[in-house]
Amino acid sequence: MSTLHPTLRPTLHTNRRQPLQWLLASLLATGLMACGGGDSPGPSMGVNADGVSTFSASALNATLSSYPLQTLSVAESDGLVYMREEEELAHAVYVASAARWTTVPVFANIAASESTHTAAVKTLLDRYQLADPLAGLPLGSFQAPLFQTLYAQLTAASEVSLVEALKVGVQIEELDINDIAARQASVDNADILLVYDNLLRGSRNHLRAYMKVLVQQGGSYTPQYISQATFDAIVNSPMEQGR
């Protein structure tokens, strides 16, 4: 599969949170920080045996309701708008692949999962009263030209063969991992960190799921957005549970 033109690759930002903000993120990620009084709600994201990682709208809303609203920075608001479209990109491309490659269930399963991922970001947009960039748009349409171009390229590549479609799945999840981590570095709002942490877990799980099927089909993949060492560490580690 040909690689994308460099101008279509989002830039990895190197901004770092202050130590206190990193501590907050760590506490949230390890489950050591309570979300409020009384019994804690269940995990916001569930994971099945195949690594399909799906947000529970009710559990997510219950968790977010226990967080106070914080001031939203420009970087945080821009990141939410961006990730809303990127998660929808994954959903739309996988829907197209599921319709074409019906012999393997991985596309349909992860497409359904991705619909809950983009909905989780939409929940944050609504919580902060931000405009939804996908409002009124049909499946496969995006406000940002970048995502419209990516959708056209990735769906075209997915039509070539089942192996190429699986490579596209791995590529999208790898891109998600890169982009979520980049935006997470400029976030200190606890509710956004919670959702981003789960999105990262979901993307790593979906990358593992796609790679498993790709290898079974005799294919291979060279990472484009993260290092080979990071990629290998993800693929060779177990599925992760949500929080």
Q: Are strands 53-55 and 45-47 parallel, antiparallel or unpaired?
A: antiparallel
| Axis-axis angle for helices 190-216, 106-127 (nearest 10) | 170
Whether 21 has a pLDDT exceeding 60, the answer reads no
The model's pLDDT over 152-176, given as tens digits with 9 standing for 90+, comes to 999 999 999 999 999 999 999 999 9
Listed in sequence order, the DSSP H helices in the chain are: 19-30, 57-64, 74-100, 106-127, 145-158, 162-184, 190-216, 228-235
Phi and psi, residue 58, nearest 5° = -70, -45
DSSP string, 190-240: HHHHHHHHHHHHHHHHHHHHHHHHHHHTT-----SSS-HHHHHHHHTS---
pTM of the model: 0.83
The model's pLDDT over 115-140, given as tens digits with 9 standing for 90+, comes to 999 999 999 999 999 999 999 999 99
3-state secondary structure of 99: helix
**Residue 111: what residue type?**
A
Q: How many CA atoms lie within 13 A of 16 on its CB side?
A: 5
Cα–Cα distance for residue pair 150/132, rounded to 1 Å: 19
Whether 147 has a pLDDT exceeding 50, the answer reads yes
The model's pLDDT over 227-237, given as tens digits with 9 standing for 90+, comes to 999 999 999 99
Q: Identify which of 241, 98, 118, 99 has the alpha carbon closest to the alpha carbon of residue 176.
A: 118
Whether 5 has a pLDDT exceeding 90, the answer reads no
3-state secondary structure of 53: strand
Domains present along the chain, CATH in parentheses:
44-59+70-235 (1.20.1260.10)
